[in-house]
Amino acid sequence: MNITFTMSHVEEDPTIKECFDQRAAKVAKHLKRFKDELTSLHGVLDKNPHKKDEFFASLSLFLPSAAIHCRERGKDYCAAINAAFLDLARQVEKHKAKLTREKRRQER
C-alpha cells in the first residue's frame, strides 16, 4: 500500500508520524484481499488556526473498486487520527461486505 502523510499548521513531530503509521498498519490488515500496488492511503493532519485545541484528520483510501474518504476532529492530534481511522475501518468493512454480497449474487 502506498502511504503518504502531510501536516498543515503543525510542527513536524516523530510521535505524530508514529501514531499515523501504527493506525495505518492496522487498516492494512483489512485490505489483504486487494493488491498492495493498487491501494493507496493519503492522510492530512490540520490544526485549526483559530482554535487552540482543535485538530482535523482527513484520510483518503483509494481501492481498485472504490475511493473512501473521511474527516474527523479531535482535541489533540492523536484523538483526531484515531477517530478518522476508526471511521475509515468501518467504511472498509462495509465496502468489503458489499463486494461479498455482489459476488454471492453473481454465483446464483
pLDDT of 54 reads 93
Mean pLDDT value of segment 31-35? 89
pLDDT of 7 reads 93
pLDDT of 11 reads 86
Domain that holds residue 19: 2-107
Instruction: Check which CATH number belongs to the domain holding 31 and give it.
Output: 3.30.160.100
Q: In 5-65, which ranges are continuous DSSP H helix?
A: 14-29
Alpha-carbon span 27 to 21, nearest angstrom: 10
Q: Would you say the pTM of this structure is higher than 0.85?
A: yes
Per-residue pLDDT band at 80 (split at 50, 70, 90): very high
pLDDT of 108 reads 76
Alpha-carbon span 77 to 25, nearest angstrom: 18
The total of structural domains in the chain comes to 1
